Structure 1
């Protein structure tokens, strides 16, 4: 991953990277889009929820009159699998500064029956039209410099079942305090912090932030639990358009109870701005 002081002239622009190709949608008829869920974004048993959120976010961005996701809430109904999908969108309301829409992602099961995988409700606006007035007590997460953090190639791969194809498309450098799970010594704290970027160097934007909030290893790993942590519901707020350069992501869990846990994420850009926030409810690993 490049730091904010480095340049990468070969980095792909939005629209030419693997992320853009794999989140592309094709208009079939008004409000209906065809998509293909890439196997390159799978983790353990299913297609990653952040990738799916970005895919539906792109469809809604085409359908609604405003360009940028401000808030998007997704309910994950059944696990998505690589292959064809249909996204059906609907405008709920259009206003001067915000428009609201909903979308569902549909796939077919082995018998040809339609199965709804995800349903989202979102409000879109124009991030460039937002006020510059910022009053916040939030501060960027304390993290080691990127050169002192750990990527996928810096140690043995954790023993997890299923696919880890998504790791080849991400450049994640975990803070040293959050890597105990990878060597069998989890900290017991529900925390993950990392520098984040796409592996091909594509600059972050409002759409890719929908992936970013759900791209790190789950906090349950640092609680000593391994396995699939499926998202039940995920709400993301995009606060401003991120500056070029690496992102810093902090995710925390304060309460695992009844077989479920929450994850609160903050994403900070290279200009030290809080660019996205999210909360999700997930099912804790069962073994």
Structure 2
């Protein structure tokens, strides 16, 4: 399998640099960040990448290292450039700590605008017991080399990724069964599946798992709906530390009503373990 070459390591990669936060001197719990244009969809910054930025700030602010559950409400679209993250420790327990954080940017009139608000619980994934009982099944995705990358589409169609910058940061291979929308033939089932790594070969960790649940094209494309699908709310559960190698991601929607749809995601690692789950509510722009 021709996965992306491991040119980067955890802690020394594009994702790590672009999600870096700097504590503000004299203001405990406040961090400065620079949102990279490399993780945008059209002009808005991707919601999963934003979770990675805020997740890193909470990782520094809380006594536990790993996100267990993170819920984000997206209030206004974030733009590339400077941002401020204000965190608060709600409770610090023995096995879990809970915190909240908000990301702010300054608008064209010089006013501070809250872009998103997050509530999260952190713990230590390495301290969890090994007992696993699940009825969840590994998604039926074809081998990596049989899936479509950003520079190819079925039947000679256009590029799967479109012109969004984030696709250059990813090693994404879509299941052909969920890529028909790229040539004008969506299945109508509301599914999206594929292999996902980072373009520089960096292995995944709990923080980058926050990105993976929102990194594939939206399921609305498989329903025949084109255009941006902005997230309203996103909740992610991190279940265990992922093994090295690309991930298998499966996302589905079961109900589009009133201009909103839900997306349920499962993320599986190279050892066939369910490492992350999520649900989000998103707007489907129908006109």
TM-score (norm 2): 0.95
- Aligned mates of 2:273, 2:171 — CA distance in 1: 20
- 1:152 is paired with a residue whose SS is coil
Q: What residue is the counterpart of 1:31 in the other structure?
A: 29
Give the whole-Å Cα distance in 1 for the aligned partners of 2:248 and 2:2: 13
Pick one of 12, 15, 22 that aligns with 2:11: 15
- Superposed CA deviations along residues 65-107 of structure 1, whole A, max 9, x for unmatched, are 0000000000000000000000000000010000000000000
- What is aligned with 2:72? 74
Unmatched 5+ stretches in structure 2: none
Instruction: Provide the C-alpha distance between the structure 2 equivalents of 1:158 and 1:284, rounded to a whole number of angstroms.
Output: 19
Query: How far apart are the structure 2 equivalents of 1:257 and 1:92?
Result: 35
Q: For structure 1, list consecutive stretches of 5 or more residues without a partner in the other structure.
A: none
Deviations 1:234-271 (A, max 9, x none): 00000000000010000000000000000000000000
Matches within 5 A, 1:126-145: 126-145=124-143
SS in 1 for 2:33: strand
Match of 1:157 among 143, 155, 159: 159
CA contact (8 A) 1:2 1:246 kept: no
Deviation, structure 1 residue 2: 4.4
> Does the aligned pair in 2 maintain the 1:61–1:67 contact within 8 Å?
yes
Deviation for aligned residue 1:159: 9.3
Query: Are the aligned partners of 2:149 and 2:160 in contact in 1 as well (CA < 8 Å)?
Result: no
Contact 1:42 1:164 in 2 (8 A): yes
Kindly report which structure 2 residues correspond to 1:79-228, keeping only aligned pairs within 5 A, or say none: 79-155=77-153, 156-157=158-159, 164-228=164-228
Instruction: Give, in whole Å, the separation in 2 of the partners of 1:215 and 1:31.
Output: 28
Task: Say how many residue pairs are matched.
Answer: 281
Q: 1:271 and 1:37 mapped to 2: Cα distance? A: 33
Cα shift at 1:158: 5.7
Q: TM-score, length-normalised on structure 1?
A: 0.95
Counterpart-to-counterpart distance in 2, 1:84 and 1:278: 28
Tell me how far 1:14 sits from its aligned partner.
1.1
- CA-based RMSD: 1.4
8 Å Cα contact 1:2/1:245 also seen in 2: no
Hey, what does 1:240 align to over in structure 2? 240
